[in-house]
Amino acid sequence: MSQERSFFSSFTTEVRALLSLSLPIVITQVATQGMNFVDTAMAGQSSSTDLAAIAVGTSLWMPVSLILRGILMSLTPVTAHHRGANNQSGISRDLGQMIWIAAICSLLLISYLTQAGNILTFMEVAPSAVPVATQYLQALAFGLPGIALFYTLNSFCEGMGNPRAPMFISIIGLVINIPINYVLIYGKFGFPQLGAVGCGWATSIVYWVMSALMAWYIVTHHRYKKLLLANEMKPLLRRMGELVQLGLPIGINIFIGGSIFAVISLLIGKFGATHIASAQVALNFSSMTYMIPLSISFGITIRVGHALGRGDHNAAKIRSWSGIVLTALLSLLSVSCLLLFPDKIIALYTNDPEIVVGAAILLTYTAIYQFSDALQTAANGALRGYKDTQTPMWIACVAYWLIALPIGVMLSMTDWIVPALGTKGFWFGIIVGLTIAAALMLIRLHSIITGTSRNFEYQGLSINRTNA
Q: What pairing do the DSSP bridges indicate for beta strands 454-458 and 461-465?
A: antiparallel
Can you give the pLDDT at residue 57? 78
Least confident range of 32-41, 193-202, 237-246: 32-41
Per the model's pLDDT, the better-predicted residue between 340 and 187 turns out to be 340
pLDDT of residue 462: 39
The pLDDT value recorded for residue 194 is 78
Res. 31: pLDDT tops 90: no
User: In the prediction, which pLDDT does 83 show?
Assistant: 82
Q: Is the pLDDT of residue 378 over 90?
A: yes
CA distances for 104 relative to 74, 114, 203, 255, angstroms: 16, 16, 21, 19
According to the model, what pLDDT value does residue 67 have? Answer: 84
pLDDT at 125: 65
- pLDDT for 463 equals 37
Least confident of 108-112, 168-172, 181-185, 346-350: 346-350
Say what the pLDDT of residue 356 is: 82
Whole-angstrom distance, CA of residue 369 vs CA of residue 365: 7
Q: What is the pLDDT of residues 272-305, one digit of tens each?
A: 667 777 777 887 788 778 888 988 998 898 889 8
| pLDDT confidence band for 4 (50 / 70 / 90) | low
List pLDDT tens digits, range 426-464. Answer: 888 889 999 999 999 999 999 988 873 344 444 333 333
When mean pLDDT is compared over 141-150, 242-251, 252-261, 421-430, the highest value belongs to: 141-150
d(CA 144, CA 187) in angstroms, rounded, equals 24
pTM of the model: 0.73
What does each C-alpha distance from 410 to 218, 417, 435, 436 come to in angstroms? 51, 7, 18, 18
Write down the pLDDT at residue 211. Answer: 94
Instruction: For 116-163, write each residue's pLDDT tens digit.
Output: 777 777 766 667 667 778 888 888 889 999 999 999 999 998 888 888
**CA-to-CA distance for 125 and 330, rounded, in angstroms?**
37
The yes-or-no verdict on residue 350 having pLDDT over 80 is: no
pLDDT at 6: 62
Overall size of the chain counted in residues? 468
Tens digit of each residue's pLDDT (9 = 90 or more) over 387-410 = 888 889 899 889 988 998 899 888
Is residue 125 packed enough to be buried (19+ CB in 10 Å), middle (13-18) or exposed (0-12)? buried
- Mean pLDDT across the chain: 81
Cα 291 to Cα 464: distance, rounded to the nearest angstrom: 33
CA 264 to CA 409: how far, in whole Å? 9
pLDDT of res. 45 = 64
Give the whole-angstrom CA distance, residue 74 versus residue 191.
40
Amino acid letter at 95? Answer: L
The pLDDT confidence band at residue 420, using thresholds 50, 70 and 90, is: confident
How many other C-beta atoms are found inside a 10 Å radius of the C-beta of residue 400? 26
Asked if 24 and 167 touch (Cβ cutoff 8 Å), the reply is yes
Q: What does residue 192 show for φ and ψ, rounded to 5 degrees?
A: -70, 150
CB 390 within 8 A of CB 415: no
